[in-house]
Amino acid sequence: MDRLSSPTNDIKKHYPIVIVGSGYGGAIAASRLSRAGQQVCLFERGIERHPGQFPNDEEETLHEIQTNLPHRYTGKRTALYDFHINDTMTILVGCGLGGTSLINANVALRPDSRLFDDPGWPQELREDVNSRLEEGFRRAEKMLNPKPYPQHFPRLDKLEALEQSAADMGANCYRLPINVTFEDGLNQAGVEQKACILCGDCISGCNHWAKNTTLMNYLPDAKNHGAEIFTGVTVRRIERQDDGWLLHYQLLKGDQEAFGGPELSVGAGIVILAAGTLGSTEILLRSKAAGLSLSNKLGHKFSGNGDVGGIAYNTDRPVGSVGFGPRNPKKSKPVGPTITGIIDLRNEAEVDQGIVIEEGAVPGSLARGLPVGLSKAARLVGEDTDRGLWDKLTELARRWISLIRGAYHGAVLHSQLYLVMSHDDSGGRLILKDDRIRILWPDVGQQEFVNRVNLNLEKATRALGGTFVENPAWRMLPSNNMVTAHPLGGCIMAEDSEAGVVNHKGQVFSSSSGSDVYEGLYVNDGAIIPRSLGANPLLTISAVAERSCKLMADDRGWQIKYD
C-alpha cells in the first residue's frame, strides 16, 4: 500500500472541509465527504505506520508510550499508546494515522437496542433507529467487514476456557464479530490484506495486514477519492473567521509542540472535529477559553463505558492468552485475535444492569514482565476459588514454572484475561488544567456496577479453578482507580444547549441556551455519545458517524457515491 499522508509543506491556506483526527469518526467523514465530491483535508497528530512498523518487543513498546500524569507529561507526542492517568481513572487511547483502531481489539458489537430508548439521545436520533441509524450500522459493517472467528480455524484455548466458564454460569456464549481478515485478498478499499496468523498481538498493532483498521479501509478510500491527509499535525483550537473557521495547529515533528513551537493556522469552510472523546473535547475547551461561544455542558457526561478488567490467574487448564511478540509464529501455538468470544449477560429486565464479559490476549511484547507481575498481583489482591492440598501444590508448582521459564509456561499459560463492559452513570467531567485535558470523577470506583461485574468475574474464574485477581489499582488505592479503553462523552448530543454540546447531526450549539448551531462546525466521534453503551463502542461510534455524514450531505444537496 502506498503512503496515504502528504508532506506538511503541502498544507494549503484554506480548505472547504478540514477534519481533525483519523479514528472511526474522522476516517468515515473523510471517506464519505470525498465520495460526495468535496475537497477534504484531514489532520492527524500521530504518524503514519504500516503493518511491520508496530512495536513488537518491550524496548520498542516503551518508546511508543506517552503519559499524561496529574502534574507532568512524559514521552514523545506522537507515541502510539497515549495514557491519561488521573486520580480516579486511567484512560488509554491511540495516536497515529488510524486512531485508536490501530491498537484496539477489533470487536464490532451492536449495543442492546433498548439503549436507544433512553431520552438522553436526541428525539430525532431515537426516531431514526430503524432507518438512518440502521443504515449507518450496515454501511460501517460493510467497510469494516467484521466476521466471527471461523469454525474451521484452529481451536483456541482461551475461547474454550471462556465457553467452560459460560457453561458453568448457565450463560449465553458465542463468537463475536471482529474486524479481522481471515483470507488473503483485496478489501473494499482495494487494499491487499492477509489472513490473520493468530498471533494475539492486535492491541500492540497488527504487523501482518490482517487487522481491519481505518488505515486499511476508510482512509485509503478517502485518499482514492482525493482527500489530502497530513500527519504530525496537532490542532489546538478553532475560532470563527468571516463565514468560516480558522484552525490553529502545531507541527509535532522535532517535538516543536513540547518546546512551544510556533502556532500555524489554516482556514476552513467546514470543520469536523473527530479527535476522539478526549481530543475533541480538549480542542473545544481551549476554543471556549479563547472566547468561542459554546454550551456550558462542554466536558460533562463523560463515561468510561462501565469498563472493568480482571484476571483468572493460574487456573486448572491451559488458556494461552499471551501473544507471540517477537517469537517465531511457526513455532508458536495459535493464540487467536485479542478477543474472540463473549459471555453475553445483557438479557436483563433493566438494560443498565446488562454486562458483557470477553476474553483477551496480552501482547507478546509485554510477556517478560507477566510472571512476576501477575504473581505479585495474585498475592496482593487475589482470591483462590478452589481448595485442597493437591490443588495448592500444583498451583505453587505452576507459579514457579512461570517465574523460571517465562509467560508461555506454568501459571501465566493457565491465566485468562477478562475485559468487561457495563454501565456507569456517565458522571465524569472533563476539564482543561494547565492546558491539558483532565478528568474529575470522584466516585466512579465506588459505583455499584464495579462490584456486580467483579461478582460475575469471580464466578467465571471459579469455573476454571483459578485465583480471581481484581484490578489492583481499584482494590488497593484509596482513590479506587478505574481503567477504561472506551472513553465516551464530553461533547454529548442533545436536543438543546442546556442539555448537550451538539445536536443529533453532530452540529455544535452556538450558545449556552437554545438549539441554534454553527452550521459548519461538527463533532463526529466518541465524544458525542451521550451514555455508556455496555458493549464495545466502535461500531456505534461508526454508525452514528455514517448517519451524521449522510445528513450533512443531504443538508447541502451533495450525493455520496457509496458504491
Ligand X SMILES: Cc1cc2nc3c(=O)[nH]c(=O)nc-3n(C[C@H](O)[C@H](O)[C@H](O)COP(=O)(O)OP(=O)(O)OC[C@H]3O[C@@H](n4cnc5c(N)ncnc54)[C@H](O)[C@@H]3O)c2cc1C
308: Cβ–Cβ under 8 A, 6 or more apart, which residues?
Answer: 420, 422, 449, 450, 453, 454, 457, 471, 482
CB of 339 to ligand X, least distance (A): 6
CB of 442 to ligand SF4, least distance (A): 37
Contact in structure between 464 and 357 (CB atoms under 8 Å): no
> Which of 311, 412, 464, 485 is close enough to bind ligand X by CB under 6 A?
485
Closer to ligand X by CB, 100 or 422: give it.
100
Task: Please report whether residue 103 would count as binding ligand X according to CB under 6 A.
Answer: yes
Closer to ligand X by CB, 25 or 466: give it.
25
From CA 421, how far away is CA 533, in angstroms rounded?
8
Task: Please report whether residue 21 would count as binding ligand X according to CB under 6 A.
Answer: yes
Q: How far apart are the first and last CA of the chain?
A: 21
Closer to ligand SF4 by CB, 14 or 327: give it.
327
Closest CA to 26 of 266, 240, 227: 227
CB of 216 to ligand X, least distance (A): 14
Q: Could you say which of ligand SF4, ligand X, none residue 340 binds, taking C-beta under 5 to 8 angstroms by partner kind?
A: none
Near ligand X in 261-320, by CB under 6 A: 274-276, 279, 283
Closest CA to 273 of 245, 301, 296: 245
The residue type at 290: A
Environment class of residue 55 by beta-carbon count within 10 Å: exposed (0-12), middle (13-18) or buried (19+)?
A: buried
Task: Please report whether residue 177 would count as binding ligand X according to CB under 6 A.
Answer: no
Eight-state DSSP code of residue 155: P
Task: Please report whether residue 44 would count as binding ligand X according to CB under 6 A.
Answer: yes
From CA 486, how far away is CA 529, in angstroms rounded?
11
Q: Could you say which of ligand SF4, ligand X, none residue 211 binds, taking C-beta under 5 to 8 angstroms by partner kind?
A: ligand SF4
Closer to ligand SF4 by CB, 194 or 429: give it.
194
CB of 467 to ligand X, least distance (A): 24
CB of 136 to ligand SF4, least distance (A): 25
Task: Please report whether residue 399 would count as binding ligand X according to CB under 6 A.
Answer: no
Near ligand X in 231-260, by CB under 6 A: 234-235
The residues that touch ligand SF4, with contacts defined as CB under 6 A, are 180, 196-202, 206, 208, 210-211, 337
The Cβ of residue 381 has, within 10 Å, a number of other Cβ atoms equal to 17
Q: What are the CA-CA distances from residue 298 to residues 89, 173, 284, 429, 532 (Å)? A: 19, 39, 8, 9, 17
> Which of 51, 55, 75, 99 is close enough to bind ligand X by CB under 6 A?
99
218: Cβ–Cβ under 8 A, 6 or more apart, which residues?
Answer: 24, 27, 28, 30, 31, 143, 189
What is the residue whose three cell numbers read 471461523?
Answer: 150
Closer to ligand SF4 by CB, 232 or 364: give it.
364
CB of 200 to ligand SF4, least distance (A): 5
From CA 433, how far away is CA 426, in angstroms rounded?
21
Task: Please report whether residue 203 would count as binding ligand X according to CB under 6 A.
Answer: yes
**Side-chain half-sphere of 344: how many Cα atoms within 13 Å?**
16
Q: Could you say which of ligand X, ligand SF4, none residue 100 binds, taking C-beta under 5 to 8 angstroms by partner kind?
A: ligand X
CB of 361 to ligand SF4, least distance (A): 8
Task: Please report whether residue 89 would count as binding ligand X according to CB under 6 A.
Answer: no
Closer to ligand SF4 by CB, 197 or 274: give it.
197
Q: How many residues bind ligand X (CB under 6 A)?
A: 41
Task: Please report whether residue 48 would count as binding ligand X according to CB under 6 A.
Answer: no
Q: Could you say which of ligand X, ligand SF4, none residue 499 binds, taking C-beta under 5 to 8 angstroms by partner kind?
A: none
Eight-state DSSP code of residue 133: I
Q: Could you say which of ligand SF4, ligand X, none residue 198 binds, taking C-beta under 5 to 8 angstroms by partner kind?
A: ligand SF4
Closer to ligand X by CB, 51 or 279: give it.
279
110: Cβ–Cβ under 8 A, 6 or more apart, which residues?
Answer: 137, 535, 539, 540
> Which of 47, 89, 107, 173 is close enough to bind ligand X by CB under 6 A?
107
Closest CA to 114 of 354, 303, 290, 300: 354
Closest CA to 43 of 68, 12, 64: 12
420: Cβ–Cβ under 8 A, 6 or more apart, which residues?
Answer: 306, 307, 308, 309, 310, 355, 356, 357, 358, 453, 456, 457
Q: Could you say which of ligand SF4, ligand X, none residue 541 binds, taking C-beta under 5 to 8 angstroms by partner kind?
A: ligand X
| Piece of the chain touching ligand X by CB under 6 A; list 69-77, 87-95, 120-128, 494-502 | 87-95
Q: Which residues bind ligand X (CB under 6 A)?
A: 20-26, 43-46, 92-95, 99-101, 103-107, 203, 234-235, 274-276, 279, 283, 339, 485-486, 525-526, 536-539, 541
